[in-house]
Chain A
């Protein structure tokens, strides 16, 4: 698989480390009322879809940036690559 890095261009997937579902960006509010249940789901439960999947890849053997890769889990086709920072900012995160 070739990941088209937004800053560095096409890079071999072997340069990256995989973390999982991009929803891991959305950490629940630890002060919320049902924080224990939300953190259980956040940490342990996954949608695990067959088809389009947004996921976090870390460019460990490169510029050490986190990417959000949209990839088809049935074909391994990579549809879109974004900087995780941009995704987090667009979700309203401060930095």
Chain B
């Protein structure tokens, strides 16, 4: 069924009896052309683009829990393409272009809202860095605007411009950045993939890989063995655990990233604001809640919860940036487990096992990358070659010295 205003009108007049489930609940077949492990944003997007861009529809997505139960349901919904390095920026700009056409393409309301994102700067050197980053963005076609103090004050009068420690001098604005309804992204992609014949199989955990003579021929699951010509793993947060079952060690540590949301408030925050110096960023959801977070907790963990010192640090950052936030009450806070890679950048690559492909290491920025991550992994699986914008995201880049270190922190995952 195609969704449209006319369809809503028709269903409204006929008692809403015509709506169908958005995807089927098929049992796994014994063999597929491609098995995608992980029913999060990246996995389901990969299956969608395998079907739409490459005509591969003999595809299954295996999810150990319910669809979208991992980080795609736990992030703070921000999209942006404001990266610096040539190994990253064209990839994220492709993702932004896919976001801009997503709802029309998948015929699903994902509430893509390009309300803009502003990265604040506080010193002359930070302004220079913002100009450099802005130029890199403009070269990649992402667009960027440098806001001085007065231009920023007109947009965000509530900021504490004269903060003693970090006086705000301006910001780098990407008007095309914004927010997206995260769950709807999974549901929309799943519906699109399902309509083209992809089997979306929930509650089916992959417990092992069928690897013979260095070739992956399928997966073992809690619902039996499933053969496959190719297997693509998209399980960021649990990448080390899952890939260990294929005998691989990864340049990844698992860390927890926390986020909070306040009660619903009247519209106050016009877009996304990031306060890197104070480890705080914020946006306002369409329901009115202030959605905010900061840095990762900083220690290895697989618990989908963090500790209070980090929450305190984030809230102090919020108070320093916009004192009015002190009147808002936090409704909920939660944590998601992220793959922190050794240079802060992701991987979309083949592995030493023939027929086994890997996407992971998305750090705290996997959500914005969902469309391009799926698009580029589908390209790699279908054609055997890396997509040009993801060609630098190799698993062997540390041995080759070709790291993509946006922050220049070196091999220290909790500093990226």
A contacts, CB < 8 Å to B: 1, 12-14, 18-21, 37, 40-41, 43-50, 53, 55, 71, 73-76
Q: Which residues of B, 268-307, contact A by the 8 Å Cβ criterion?
A: 298-303, 307
A-B contact pairs, 7 of them (CB 8 A): A13-B307, A37-B399, A43-B411, A46-B252, A46-B253, A49-B241, A73-B254
Q: Which residues of B contact A76 (CB under 8 A)?
A: 301, 303, 307
Interface string of B230-247 (1 = CB under 8 A from A): 000000001011001000
B307 touches A44 (CB 8 A): no
Known: A1-B307, A40-B398, A73-B301. A46 touches B250 (CB 8 A): yes
Q: Which residues of A contact B252 (CB under 8 A)?
A: 46, 48
Q: Which residues of A contact B309 (CB under 8 A)?
A: 12-14
B342 touches A74 (CB 8 A): no
Interface flag for B175 (CB, 8 Å): no
Min Cβ gap B354→A in Å is 21
A50 touches B302 (CB 8 A): yes
Which range holds the interface residue count of chain B?
A: 20 to 34
Give the top 5 A-B pairs by smallest Cβ distance, nearest first: A48-B240, A14-B309, A44-B398, A44-B251, A50-B302
Interface flag for B249 (CB, 8 Å): yes
Min Cβ gap A83→B in Å is 19
Q: Which residues of A contact B241 (CB under 8 A)?
A: 48-50
Min Cβ gap A14→B in Å is 4
Question: Mostly helix, strand, loop or mixed at chain B's interface?
Answer: mixed
B249 touches A46 (CB 8 A): yes
Q: Which residues of B contact A75 (CB under 8 A)?
A: 303
Interface flag for B413 (CB, 8 Å): yes
Known: A50-B241, A76-B307. A45 touches B300 (CB 8 A): no
Q: Which residues of B contact A14 (CB under 8 A)?
A: 309
Q: Which residues of A contact B249 (CB under 8 A)?
A: 41, 45-47
Min Cβ gap B306→A in Å is 9
A40 nearest in chain B by CB position: B399
A53 to B241: give the CA distance in the assembly, Å: 13
Q: Which residues of B contact A71 (CB under 8 A)?
A: 299
B251 touches A20 (CB 8 A): no
Q: Which residues of A contact B414 (CB under 8 A)?
A: 18, 20
A12 nearest in chain B by CB position: B309
Q: Which residues of A contact B302 (CB under 8 A)?
A: 50, 73-74
Known: A40-B399, A43-B398. A55 touches B251 (CB 8 A): no
Min Cβ gap A42→B in Å is 10
Known: A46-B249, A48-B250. A74 touches B300 (CB 8 A): no
Q: Which residues of B, 397-416, contact A by the 8 Å Cβ criterion?
A: 398-399, 411-414
A53 nearest in chain B by CB position: B300
Known: A46-B250, A48-B250, A73-B254. A55 touches B307 (CB 8 A): no
A47 touches B298 (CB 8 A): no
Q: Which residues of B, 373-416, contact A by the 8 Å Cβ criterion?
A: 398-399, 411-414
Min Cβ gap A1→B in Å is 6
**Residue among B300, B399, B412 making CB contact with A48, cutoff 8 Å:** B300
Q: Which residues of B contact A44 (CB under 8 A)?
A: 251, 342, 398, 411
